[in-house]
Amino acid sequence: MTSCCCFSCIPTGSLGVIQRCGEYQGLQEPGCSCVCFPFTTVQPVSLALQQHVCKTDCKTKDSVMVTVMTAVQYKIERDMVKAAVFDIEQPLRQIEAEVDSILRSTVPSMTLDESYEAKDKMVEEILSSVKEAMKRYGYDIIKVLITDIKPEASILAAMNKINAQRRQRAAALEKGEAEKFLKIKASEAEAEAKRLAGVGMAGMRTAMAYGYLDSIQFMTNSGMTEAEALQMMLMTQYLDTLKDFSRRHSSILVPHRAPSLSKIEEVVEIEAEPPKQFELEEM
């Protein structure tokens, strides 16, 4: 309000309550008017939507102290400006008392987790109670919002720790399952690799056996005896082995004499001889 000399200015969105020597005289619309100051005063009253935040300390059913933050949105009805100004003192305290009354009768019947889930129920009860209580004083309660339910710092820290441990346990289980899956797959891969290696080795030996058989048959058909053919194959394998060793940089070839080869031939000759027949003497 701006009241200077005999002029009174009321901003848009408000009404002026006119009093002459303390007696209510009426309302002044937004704009500038002449008044007889100081016998006549004009008090501006805002008709805009306003918000008041209430802070309520409660105790839950599981003995946890919480602070509930409630935002009450209200405005003064145009037709009841006189009641809003003269019929009630400290209307915001009245709103806080109604909010505290509802919360302190509702929250103790719920656990902490239930109080988080029952916000809508508490909002409905607060809105109904505060709206009914303030209606006769010209205050229209538009909306009620529970903006926060905050436990004590120690309880909040414990809850965060519990949640963190729960998530760590879930992460450990997931990690264990992943490691188990990888080990199973690795074992399966190793088993499959060994199986395929065995199949390959068996196939290689079968092919080698068939190759030896074909070579022996070819050499025997060419006029060689089986012992000579086997001796020739053995010498060929021996020379191929020396050739393979000589290609490796880490291999060392020890010089040897011809008798070493003759010993291999002797072994082949012995194995090629037919078994001797023994007669059992009669006792």
**Residue 236 belongs to what domain range?**
224-248+255-272
Among the candidates 114, 132, 151, a domain finishes at: 151
Residues 31, 60, single domain; the answer is no
Residues 92, 107, single domain; the answer is yes
pLDDT score, position 250: 64
pLDDT tens by residue, 41-79: 888 889 999 999 999 998 888 888 889 999 999 999 988
Residues 268, 178, single domain; the answer is no
Residue 259 lies in a domain: yes
CA distances from 139 to 72, 77, 84, 129, 136 (A): 11, 6, 7, 13, 7
Residues 144, 231, single domain; the answer is no
Q: Is the pLDDT of residue 194 over 80?
A: yes
Residue 18 lies in a domain: yes
Binned at pLDDT 50, 70 and 90, residue 248 comes out as low
Which of 11-15, 36-40, 171-175, 260-264 is least confident? 260-264
Note if the pTM is more than 0.75: no
Residue 281 lies in a domain: no
Task: Name which of 45, 48, 97, 100 is nearest 69 in CA terms.
Answer: 100
pLDDT tens by residue, 266-283: 554 554 455 454 444 443
Residues 88, 114, single domain; the answer is yes
Residues 54, 147, single domain; the answer is yes
CA distances from 49 to 70, 87, 107 (A): 16, 20, 28
Residues 197, 229, single domain; the answer is no
Residues 239, 209, single domain; the answer is no
